[in-house]
């Protein structure tokens, strides 16, 4: 079971995670491409889980008139890039241009 902790409270649900921080300004979106991501050695990319042994990241793209958040598969995988759904027919849309969620390195974890 996955769980999250917010100060003294802890809750959980199977196969789900909650990304939270009382200081939302600690997170920011950075425009990138799949090729640029292969050269990005920073350690402040927000992980979005593991799928098939591959570490995924959190990304977003403006697609079909709305912001969509989904997984970024790193360039080291044959399935690389940003994956999101099409609203019209439910098929998968792949993009090599997207924004990746990052965390400010200087941010300090909250004290509870």
Give the global pTM: 0.73
93 part of a folded domain: yes
Look at residue 32 in the predicted model and tell me its pLDDT.
Answer: 94
Whole-angstrom CA distances from 101 to 8, 70, 79, 89, 112 are 26, 11, 20, 27, 25
1 part of a folded domain: no
> Taking residues 75-84, what's their average pLDDT?
86
Provide the token pair at 17. 């995670």
From the list 84, 71, 86, the residue with the least C-alpha distance to 37 is 71
* Parent domain of 81: 22-103
pLDDT tens-digit map of 28-63? 999 999 889 888 888 889 888 888 888 899 999 999
From the list 110, 104, 103, the residue with the least C-alpha distance to 9 is 110
Number of domains into which the chain is organized: 1
């Amino acid at each position: 079971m996955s769980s999250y902790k917010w100060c003294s409270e802890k809750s959980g649900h199977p196969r789900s995670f909650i990304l939270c921080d009382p200081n939302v300004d600690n997170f920011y979106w950075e425009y990138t491409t799949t090729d640029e991501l292969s050269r990005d050695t920073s350690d402040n990319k927000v992980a979005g889980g593991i799928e098939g042994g591959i570490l995924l990241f959190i990304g977003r793209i403006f697609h079909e008139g709305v912001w969509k958040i989904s997984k970024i598969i790193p360039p080291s995988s044959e399935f690389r890039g940003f994956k999101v759904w099409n609203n019209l027919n439910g098929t998968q849309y792949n993009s090599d241009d997207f924004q990746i969620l990052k965390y400010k390195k200087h941010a300090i974890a909250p004290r509870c």
